[in-house]
């Protein structure tokens, strides 16, 4: 009985070790994949399925270049970019986890969903103003541009809040951007920005 038990135990032990060894080899890749989906699940509650938000004030986060996504997350962590919730959320993730999230959401297409709250009467003038004051950096109707994020089809009220953060100097602007903002403010007042943002939100 004793011998048999020991023999049986030994077999189980080596089987367990073999199994553990196999799992240990297989684990890193699988765990990383699972982790990023679990992590991303915590974001879709606000940012929508695949990062294409549903509300008017929470940005879509799909389709961004990885560096831009990482930059946004670290600037929230450091409060260099003011936020209602993202500072607290972003501080919960390591650099590696942020890179994994950036790659995950970056691989999802940015969907331009209808925004019924857009003031369509503002679109034509907004488009002209955008060409004059914004398009040099927010290229291709705000779809792209070096390090500028996505404005085309982005959520209207998120963009309004962002513009206020820039104007109140809570969020840093590079000199050329600040100059354009000042020129537009002088020419059109704050409403000029609203016209432009209604246009960008409407781009599909
Ligand atoms: C409770 C709602 C909520 C949750 C959960 C949430 N976010 Fe956000 N996110 C926001 C809001 C609101 C903003 C705008 C900044 C602010 O006010 O915090 C934002 C902004 C962002 C931006 C900037 C997008 C841009 O183009 O400017 C990124 C990137 C982002 N979130 C990533 C994430 C990731 C990744 C997660 C999950 C780990 C996440 N968020 C979870 C609400 C949320
Ligand atoms: C000289 C280049 C430049 C010009 C001109 C410019 N921007 Fe930007 N814009 C940027 C950069 C760079 C960023 C990203 C800033 C950051 O990451 O904090 C940005 C970001 C933004 C954002 C926030 C996007 C996000 O995802 O958080 C909004 C909204 C915006 N710009 C609106 C405008 C409007 C409206 C105009 C025209 C009146 C304009 N910009 C003109 C360079 C520019």
Task: Output the CA 173–ligand 2 centroid distance in Å.
Answer: 8
The fold adopted by the segment(s) 120-202 is: Cytochrome Bc1 Complex; Chain D, domain 2 (1.10.760)
- Under the banding of pLDDT at 50, 70 and 90, the label for residue 29 is low
- Closest-lying ligand 2 atom to the alpha carbon of residue 72: 17
Distance from the Cα of residue 74 to its chain's centroid: 12
For the domain with range 10-106, which CATH number is right: 3.10.580.10, 1.25.40.10, 1.10.760.10, 2.40.50.140?
Answer: 1.10.760.10
* Residue found by looking up tokens 């488009």 in the block: 127
Residue 195 tokens read as: 């016209």
- Rounded to 5°, angle at Cα 153 from 179 and 135: 30
Is the CB of residue 106 less than 8 Å from the CB of residue 176?
Answer: no
Q: What is the pLDDT of residue 53?
A: 83
Q: What is the pLDDT of residue 30?
A: 57
86 lines ligand 1 (CB under 6 A): yes
Question: d(Cα 63, Cα 33) in Å, to the nearest integer?
Answer: 19
For the segment 160-192, what is each residue's pLDDT rounded down to a tens digit?
999 999 999 999 999 999 999 999 999 999 999
Domain ranges (residues) in the chain: 10-106, 120-202
Same CATH topology for 10-106 and 120-202? yes
For the segment 52-72, what is each residue's pLDDT rounded down to a tens digit?
988 899 999 999 999 999 999
Ligand with minimal distance to 130 CA: 2
For the segment 87-141, what is each residue's pLDDT rounded down to a tens digit?
999 999 999 999 999 999 999 999 998 999 999 999 999 999 999 999 999 999 9
128 lines ligand 2 (CB under 6 A): no
């Amino acid at each position: 009985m004793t011998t048999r038990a020991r023999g049986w135990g030994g077999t189980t032990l080596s089987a367990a070790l073999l199994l553990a060894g196999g799992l240990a080899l297989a684990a890193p890749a699988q765990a990383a994949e699972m982790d990023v989906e679990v992590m991303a699940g915590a974001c879709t509650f606000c940012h929508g399925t695949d990062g294409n938000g549903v509300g008017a004030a929470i940005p879509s986060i799909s389709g961004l270049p990885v560096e831009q996504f990482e930059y946004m997350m670290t600037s929230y962590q450091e409060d260099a970019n003011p936020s209602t919730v993202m500072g607290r959320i972003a501080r919960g993730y390591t650099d590696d986890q942020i890179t994994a999230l950036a790659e995950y959401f970056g691989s999802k297409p940015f969907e331009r969903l209808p925004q019924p709250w857009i003031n369509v009467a503002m679109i034509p003038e907004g488009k002209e103003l955008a060409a004059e004051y914004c398009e040099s950096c927010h290229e291709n109707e705000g779809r792209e541009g070096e390090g500028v994020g996505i404005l085309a089809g982005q959520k209207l009220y998120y963009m309004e809040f962002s513009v206020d953060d820039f104007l109140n100097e809570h969020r840093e602007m590079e000199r050329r951007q600040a100059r354009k903002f000042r020129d537009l403010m002088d020419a059109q007042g704050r409403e000029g920005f609203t016209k432009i943002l209604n246009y960008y939100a409407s781009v599909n």
